[in-house]
Amino acid sequence: MLDEPKPGDSPSDLSVQALLYASGEMEAAEAAAFEQRLGEDQAAREALCQAVEFATLASGQAPPTPDPAYRDRVRATLRQRRRHMKKLVGQPPTFGPIALWMALGAIAAILMMLVLTHMASMHQHNEPPTHPRPTTAPQSEQPAPMPERVDAHSRLLPPPIFA
Amino acid sequence: MSEDSDAKLIARFRSGDESALNAIFARYEVQLFQFLFGILRNHHQAEDALQETLVRALEHLDGVDSGHLRGWLFTVAYHQAMLVKRRLKKQFASMDDQDGTVSDEEPGPLFQVEREDDARRLRELLEQLPPGQREVIRQRVYEGKRFREIAETLGCPLNTALARMHEGLKRLRLLWEQNHA
């Protein structure tokens, strides 16, 4: 028979906790805390693996292992998803890139319009006038009608009703 | 099993080497499966979770530091197990499942001894353990008692019963390996 364990031989608190957790006998709050620890503590994860392995061994069974067929399923899924990704990459640009080009085109058109408008207004302000604008002369400066024109004008008037 | 480092395995896998995948399986599947089994306590669920874990982990391998493959795989496995647990909890909530835990359809490894031959050998090995450890294992495995009941029966704290169980199983494994070597 083997010796009783010495005081220093006692398993770590983590191993004991893992054993209790794996047995499903941990209190709900404690189990939740241990599960949280499993999320970030690799030592706790390893302790759980060991607890499962030990527990299985105690029943005289080999440690639990997955059915090797799962490997083929992993391979098939990975291949399928890779093909799908390749297909996506090989396809002509879809709505995303088209929308991007449309937006860029719209921005370019607006910029072009702004530049043209600006250039046109600059052109109007800076260019010396080649043809003087017809100015409306003041009333007093209007040339007097020529006498023959006056006559012609008077001929067109109706005869006076009251002489 | 491949002797390549994790970094080399990752590089081989990225270059499309199928044998690298086998090496990754061989190196990590048992531990990951035991980890998932420990959380889910169901063989089929643990197997499904393992499959999804490896697919997800290998798909997103690009951002993983090659020195942390082990930690990365366990992290993905943890999240996968929690996802399964949450789904099951939702499913069983409507069925008034008290604690949301799921038991395996197969008998629990701690309570059932399926193979008579192995069981006989195990009993022989058990006799070589110190009485304190032997008694805890005997009550747990052969009588199917809960740890709290065992602690009460033996008049010791729960943690002492658990520590004896752990140490006893550790020694039992050593003896088993020596016996089967």
Q: With b meaning 16 or more CB within 10 Å and e meaning fewer, what string describes B105-134?
A: eeeebbeebeeeebbebbeebbeebbebbb
| Average pLDDT rounded to a whole number, residues B44-68 | 90
Q: Is B179 an interface residue toward A (CB < 8 Å)?
A: no
Last residue in a domain, options B69, B94, B119: B94
Q: Which residues of B touch A14 (CB under 8 A)?
A: none
Q: What is the pLDDT of residue B1?
A: 55
Place of tokens 């052969």: B142
This complex has an ipTM of 0.80
Report which listed range, B23-27, B66-70, B175-179, is most confident.
Answer: B23-27
Report which listed range, A87-101, B118-132, B138-152, is most confident.
Answer: B138-152
Q: Kindly state whether residue B101 falls inside one of the protein's structural domains.
A: no
Record: contact B112-A54, CB cut-off 8 A: no
The closest of B120, B175, B111 to B140, measured between CA atoms, is B111
Place of tokens 């943690």: B159
- The CATH number of the domain where B55 resides is what? 1.10.1740.10
Q: Residue B102: pLDDT band by 50, 70, 90 thresholds?
A: very low
The pTM is what? Answer: 0.67
Last residue in a domain, options B94, B129, B145: B94
Shared-domain flag, residues B115 and B83 = no
> Would you write out chain A's pLDDT as a tens digit for each of its 163 residues?
554 444 444 568 899 999 999 988 899 999 999 999 999 999 999 999 999 988 887 777 777 889 999 999 999 998 888 777 766 666 555 566 677 888 899 999 999 999 999 898 888 777 665 555 555 555 555 555 555 554 555 455 555 545 4
Shared-domain flag, residues B80 and B8 = yes
Record: contact A59-B43, CB cut-off 8 A: no
User: What's the total number of domains in chain B?
Assistant: 2
Record: contact B22-A71, CB cut-off 8 A: yes
Mutate to test the interface with B, among A13, A27, A37, A59 (most CBs of B within 10 A): A59
Contacts of B48 (CB under 8 A, 6+ apart): B84
Shared-domain flag, residues B74 and B12 = yes
CA A44 to chain centre: 39
B73/B120 Cα distance (integer angstroms): 38
Q: Kindly state whether residue B103 falls inside one of the protein's structural domains.
A: no
Last residue in a domain, options B52, B69, B94: B94
Judge whether residue B5 has pLDDT over 70: yes
The closest of B3, B48, B54, B64 to B25, measured between CA atoms, is B54
B72/B29 Cα distance (integer angstroms): 13
Shared-domain flag, residues B60 and B118 = no
Q: Kindly state whether residue B150 falls inside one of the protein's structural domains.
A: yes
The closest of B92, B110, B111 to B102, measured between CA atoms, is B92
Least confident of A62-76, A77-91, B15-29, B106-120: B106-120
Q: Write down the mean pLDDT value for chain B.
A: 84
Q: What single DSSP character describes residue B95?
A: T
Shared-domain flag, residues B1 and B79 = yes
Shared-domain flag, residues B119 and B172 = yes
The partner residue sitting opposite A78, judged by closest CB among B55, B122, B171, is B55
For B:10-39, CB contacts with A below 8 A are 18, 21-22, 25, 29-31, 33-35, 37-39
Judge whether residue B108 has pLDDT over 60: no
Q: Rounded to the nearest 10 degrees, how much is the dihedral formed by the CA atoms of A67, A72, A75, A81?
A: -100
Which structural domain, as residue segments, surrounds residue B116? 111-181
Mutate to test the interface with A, among B39, B120, B145 (most CBs of A within 10 A): B39
Shared-domain flag, residues B69 and B125 = no
Mutate to test the interface with A, among B113, B162, B173, B178 (most CBs of A within 10 A): B162
Q: Is B60 an interface residue toward A (CB < 8 Å)?
A: no
Longest dimension (CA), chain A: 160
Shared-domain flag, residues B6 and B54 = yes
In whole angstroms, how far apart are CA A97 and each of A91, A109, A111? 12, 18, 21
Shared-domain flag, residues B130 and B74 = no
Shared-domain flag, residues B90 and B115 = no
Record: contact B167-A49, CB cut-off 8 A: no
- The CATH number of the domain where B118 resides is what? 1.10.10.10
**H helices present in chain A, as ranges:** 13-23, 28-38, 42-58, 69-90, 95-126, 147-156
Q: Which residues of A touch B130 (CB under 8 A)?
A: 1-5
B147/B151 Cα distance (integer angstroms): 6
Record: contact B173-A11, CB cut-off 8 A: no
Cα dihedral sign, A86-A87-A90-A96 = negative
For B:136-165, CB contacts with A below 8 A are 137, 140-141, 146-148, 158-159, 162-165
